[in-house]
Structure 1
């Protein structure tokens, strides 16, 4: 079977020695300290009238972590659906998801950026209406098909498909994939650019820093929003090949040229050593010091909150 590789030739996956140091020796020696989780991301009750609105207004509802309900061109779609109390049987959810599955509107498509448990939940896919197609990176389709008899489309980087008026492109990311012990990088990973009407939104999925942010902005000029991960970075020496930190997410946003920065991948699951809310505090600090001064904005969204992207105003 094919093993996929990262677009950045500088990428060096953590070897056994690094994993042993991170998981064992640094813990025993006290060099690695896992912070108490602290408070999760704030949550509000969803505005279900706005969630189910069929207008063409582009909207994002944060379900939590990396899960979003999007609406563009009068069509609704789900990104990286996870609703459960735990991911990977280990990491518990702090707080409640912003929406439950029965509160979702009629969906045109589900998008999955990669196969990690905090981005792809079997029950979330299995329990959706069987006619809803799922778009996944190359190599992941067979697994999703086994879970439910539904249409599944695989994409390579830069491939585009049109579904129900939405143009969906898989774009590169610097990350990796694994669902089981022996399937490392047997399926691809990436982000998505979703185009509906004359609007475009970039969902980065999981990614570390790489040179592709400028290329994504060049190929998709006029991005309305960039939905970027900001958490999962501590300890830095171990996590820098996996995830952006908050400052890097801000820099990536600048390179994409998007109008709005929507931070995610924080506040629900303590996957790494930093407290749940530290990433957003660091991003706010970066924004005050180095954020763009050209009218572009950062949207601080609560779990369950729907943001109308045309105005950047939060509607609760």
Structure 2
């Protein structure tokens, strides 16, 4: 019998056909005018990769949910997607913030939060090759082994592993998984907390708001840097069970008790109805209304490297070559 994974509350997300048709046809109260999928200006900086050789602890946004995290001399990619489109269907709005030539020559670890195509891109994985250690959710190991990736470790929620002296914990998220017609929820989904020498970075993966954020903060904190998704949220009646909007992301940030909010999951692929430029505008407005310190919010440009500093939130690194 095939195992089917569930969310934190023991439930699986359901997508009735009538709801899918309502969303696709626009027959609902939250209908918005069509907005462009490509050619939308979003902040981008040129990063030729020279700063990545500096030996500093850096976090570089490649776009969408893809990051290069360099910590304690280890090069880690999280949800790397370098392709020009998702399966030839959803085009990329802007190029990846790091080209293949700009990436470090050695990638030590690749972390995959779940198997959706905007987080697990097979052409990118094939080009990364068999050398890295792949950390994947429970239920995905056999796929990687069959695809020719021998160095793979699958993790259950709250399971910890040590890689190159860095502690990695796989933590819950509120989402679902699927790549084909018959594999709904046959592998897990989640986020990662990455810890070294008292510094902790959290990547939420794809997630809706759920009560588990408080537990993540309690069990894995204090969290210095929280990479949280802010886009792909409209219409809310359909998306609220799978993606956060900026309001939900701020609630998650507060529940985590994190020091720094790093925004992600916007501006790269148009997956939902809101304009690609909208999420950071809403987030900045909410941040201002909440009277939160500007130093605790980072909305990086695609390609921008952020310097991770012990005992402080973050410094913007000069990512231009």
* Alignment correspondent of 2:46: 45
Residues 80-229 of structure 1 aligned to structure 2 (within 5 Å):
80-105=79-104, 106-229=106-229
Q: SS state of the match for residue 88, structure 2?
A: coil
- 2:160 and 2:30 map into 1 onto residues whose CA distance is 48
Number of the residue aligned with 2:76? 77
Offset, 1:31: 4.3
Give the number of aligned pairs. 312
After superposition, give the CA deviation of every residue in 1:216-242 in whole Å (9 maximum; x if it has no partner): 110122211000000011111111111
CA drift of 1:292 comes to 3.4
CA distance in 2, matches of 1:242, 1:88: 21
Q: Secondary structure at the match of 1:153?
A: strand
Alpha-carbon spacing, 1:302–1:25, altered in 2? closer, same or farther (3 Å): closer
Between the aligned partners of 2:190 and 2:203, the Cα distance in structure 1 is: 9
TM-score by length of 1: 0.93
1:54, 1:74 within 8 Å by CA — same for their partners in 2?
A: yes
Does the 8 Å contact 2:13/2:176 carry over to 1? no
Query: 2: distance between equivalents of 1:16 and 1:52?
Result: 50
CA-to-aligned-CA distance 1:202-229 (integer Å, 9 cap, x gap):
0000000100111111012221100000
Q: How far does residue 90 in structure 1 lie from its aligned partner after superposition?
A: 1.1
Deviations 1:260-305 (A, max 9, x none): 1000000010000111110111101110012535x86001201111
Instruction: Report the 3-state secondary structure (helix = DSSP H, G, I; strand = E; otherwise coil) of the residue aligned with 1:162.
Output: strand
The alignment partner of 1:101 has SS state of coil
- Aligned partner of residue 97 in structure 2, secondary structure: coil
For the 8 Å contact 1:22–1:32, the answer to whether it is kept is no
Q: Is the 1:83–1:97 contact (alpha carbons within 8 Å) kept by the matching residues of 2?
A: yes
Change (3 A) 1:16 1:306: same
Superposition deviation, residue 82 in structure 1: 0.2
How far apart are the structure 2 equivalents of 1:30 and 1:201? 35
> Structure 2: which 5+ runs fail to align?
none
**How far is 1:8 from its partner?**
2.8
For 1:290 and 1:22, locate their aligned partners in 2 and report how far apart those are by CA, in whole Å.
Answer: 32
Contact 1:88–1:118 (Cα < 8 Å) also in 2: no
Change (3 A) 1:30 1:108: closer
The answer (yes or no) to whether the contact 1:26–1:32 under 8 Å persists in 2 is no
From the superposition, tell whether residues 30 and 197 of structure 1 become closer, same or farther in structure 2 (CA, over 3 Å).
Answer: closer
Q: Which residue of 1 aligns with 2:316?
A: 314
Q: What is the CA–CA distance in structure 1 between the aligned matches of 2:45 and 2:60, rounded to whole Å? A: 11
Distance 1:196 1:71 in 2: 11
Whether the 8 Å CA contact 1:224–1:309 is kept in 2: the answer is: no
Query: TM-score, normalised to structure 2's length?
Result: 0.91
User: What is the deviation of 1:7?
Assistant: 0.7
Aligned to 1:241: 241
2:286 is paired with a residue of what secondary structure? Answer: helix
C-alpha RMSD of the superposition: 2.0
Gaps of 5+ in 1: none
Q: Supply the distance in 2 between the matched residues of 1:25 and 1:254 (Cα, whole angstroms).
A: 33
Structure 1 residues 137 and 127: CA distance shift in structure 2, 3 A: same
CA apart distance, 1:74: 2.0
